[in-house]
Structure 1
């Protein structure tokens, strides 16, 4: 096939520390998983043991013919207590960076993928006045150690996720009550007045967190750029493909304004915007509807065009290039994923050919991992993980993705 993707296009997979590494027991996520009541259906525990098995996992990525690996550095491991830096954790992540480079994989580093230190959450989390400075310090220590060798920096992962979930009615009403009870219990257990976490935010705090995340993002960019001005840096956001059916234009535009446009405007000052897309939402005059057709594990329409249309909108509003930092499908039927991904990539290629600047595609995710409050039920990985032995078994979709990438790579690297 003919590719219009630019030289240096990133073809890879995306992962996150807390979801795959296991044993992240100094984090706010671990705390909330073990709080009663908990919105989490089960604790993360050993996850996929990626912290120990990372070399095997990088080999899997390289064997698929990919050239990029997105992972997060876990702040709770690096600074388990306020002001106490664990040099061994920095050593570990430096080894991962060097392991990527040794295998021809560009390291794409996320500086915060939801999980933060327990002490940070108990000190006001992102709403604390000193939160931007604390996060900037974390970014600086990471950059000082191995920032000279990474390819791309993502400051925050999906700071708009809670708005997306609330606007789309993705959680049952009881979830909001359990969330509040869980956070209150965590605060009592920690002996503090309040306890928050990045992806467990009460509805009435959404606006405050948006402002706080914005300050933290800008502080992080400044810290990263102070160490390396040339490093492409941006924020990644959750974004559905919002489709207006006849009469649904006003509802579509209101949804976009409520959950995406703030961050797409913020991204105008960055090098790129990260797009994380999994589904389309169809707006009629009376609300959202789900057209007839095959459904994914989220219950929404299987729509390969969703990614390309989301990328187009993100670029139109932000004016900066787009990096697809996550895209995939929740499904128990891997054949569905194996068919879906190449179709979505063909449409993304057409969007790039039409002039939308796209820097890379990072599939979510490498391994079937811990999917936050939903536990290990949802399956989004290209590789199955045995929950007892932790053996890795690539699925047919892994090879379907590899074949699709191979069809584009000659134009990419030529």
Structure 2
């Protein structure tokens, strides 16, 4: 997810201030980019007419670094150790997925999902140049074996913002050698796990990857542009390599949706690789409209303060489908953070959030969006890039105060299980949160069209 930095520091570094300034100056340009992709129809509440088809891919998402613990030298272990910008808590052992994955996979199986997404961490596989760790490979071999034994398909991310310490020492993406080293490692991983029905993700959220390196490493503008070009070239090469080795596999790079600045997000990688994608991978966490501008809290990392905009997902899905009508759409990440596990002050629950968004996905499907899959972020709480405060898990884990790291189910566990078994929300479902007026996701339809009066059946308009 874009900028899930987790903590808020009172005295940001100069590079971060520069980033915010650049973002602010780009807002007007981004609004124009959004306007050019507007949808022709305003979406008010209507009965759901599309059920998810049999064989639809229901999943949960996580990442290696964020959940595994016992992590070797890497750019992110270094950022955490030196208290880089946005780092509020030490990494520790996170939720110890590295040692508890058999139990966590059973929890995922109990939801009824058929996809489990994680990352194969380069820093763990190759902690020193040219020296692969046999224990790490045994761990990943067994992890993938157990994912499949539990009736799930692996979705494997090759780069979820983390690279080995020795890559950092050679200049990271500043150095063209990193592209060669990355592809060498990726080819090794693809050869090892080919023929197992893997859904491959090259780079997780390229825009957020660049942003986090820009503010946390940090980088200057020239380094940022060099990294962008390197990711584009590397994805394109990786796409061809994966298709050569793992015949028939599907490959993508999930894009972070970023509301008013989404034009900038897509420019990080997506716009230059649309011919090298087998499905559109979208991560959606928040939107904005003129009645709800709380997305501004994303700039400070206080994501739990954002009021969700479920109907925004409907517009986002239609937008991307219109741009690439020949490709199916997969929501690779979607979820809601709470503040250290506490209930939201407005009473909006994780179950409300999940049902409301599923409703709008079904609405988009009924209007022609070719949905392929949906992953919830995440199975458990984990290390949110500097902090354990933002809690996204279906199962909550109190890393800082519970040495047992017990997985405790949230209200959304039975809700997700029911949605999967019933192939969506009931046909008469009424979203808890009413649509807002003048959505950034589709300004022409929602600002200038005729906005119907919200029906009386809406629950409390939170």
What TM-score range do you get, normalising by the shorter chain? 0.7 to 0.9
Indicate which of 199, 202, 208 corresponds to 1:152.
199
After superposition, give the CA deviation of every residue in 1:73-103 in whole Å (9 maximum; x if it has no partner).
1110100001111122122112111111111
Bigger relative contact order (CA 8 A; separation at least 6): 2
Q: How does 1:68-87 map to 2 (within 5 A)?
A: 68-87=115-134
Q: Per-residue deviation at 1:162?
A: 5.8
Match runs of 1:51-70 below 5 Å? 51-70=98-117
Counterpart mapping for 1:42-191 below 5 A? 42-161=89-208, 176=215, 179=216, 183=217
| 8 Å Cα contact 2:288/2:312 also seen in 1 | no
**1:278 is matched with which residue?**
285
Distance change (3 Å), C-alpha of 1:28 and 1:297: closer
What does residue 383 of structure 1 align with?
A: 395
Contact 2:251 2:279 in 1 (8 A): yes
Counterpart check, 1:239 vs 2:239: no
Distance 1:132 1:222, change over 3 A: farther
CA contact (8 A) 1:237 1:275 kept: yes
1:341 shift after superposition: 0.4
8 Å Cα contact 2:116-2:152 kept in structure 1 = yes
Counterpart CA distance in 2 for 1:92 and 1:37 is 30
CA–CA separation in structure 1 for the residues paired with 2:404 and 2:182: 36
Instruction: Indicate the SS of the match to 1:66.
Output: coil
Write out aligned runs for 1:342-361 (5 A). Answer: 342-361=355-374
Describe how 1:185-224 pairs up with structure 2 within 5 A: 201-203=219-221, 205-224=223-242
Residue matched to 1:172: none
Deviation at 1:136, TM superposition (A): 1.4
For residue 333 of structure 1, the aligned residue among 343, 348, 372 is 343
Partner of 2:321: 315
Q: Secondary structure at the match of 2:289?
A: strand
Q: Is the 8 A contact 1:109 1:154 kept in 2?
A: yes
- Counterpart contact for 2:255–2:265, Cα < 8 Å: no
TM-score by length of 1: 0.81
Runs (5+) with no aligned partner, structure 1: 167-174, 184-199, 243-251
Q: Structure 2 CA distance, aligned partners of 1:360 and 1:68?
A: 9
Q: Does structure 2 retain, via aligned residues, the 8 Å contact 1:90–1:142?
A: no
CA distance in 1 between counterparts of 2:127 and 2:358 reads 40
TM-score, length of structure 2 as denominator length: 0.73
> Displacement of 1:41 after TM fit?
1.2
Change in 2 beyond 3 A, CA 1:158/1:78: same
* RMSD of equivalent CA atoms: 2.6
- Higher strand residue share: 1
**What is the total number of aligned residue pairs between the two structures?**
361
1:298–1:330 contact (8 Å) kept in structure 2: yes
Q: CA deviation at 1:221?
A: 1.5
Residues 232 and 206 of structure 1: is their aligned pair in 2 closer, same or farther, counting only changes over 3 Å? Answer: same
Partner of 2:418: 403
Distance in structure 2 (CA, Å) of the matches to 1:127 and 1:308? 38
**Which sits farther off after the overlay, 313-322 or 121-130?**
313-322
Map of 2:448 onto structure 1: none
Matched, 1:263 2:278: no
Q: Report if the CA contact (8 A) 1:12-1:362 is conserved.
A: yes
**CA distance change for structure 1 residues 3 and 407 in 2, over 3 Å: closer, same or farther?**
farther
- How far 1:220 moved relative to its partner? 1.8
**Which of 383, 391, 403 is 1:370 aligned to?**
383
Which stretch of the first structure deviates more once superposed, 1-10 or 106-115? 1-10
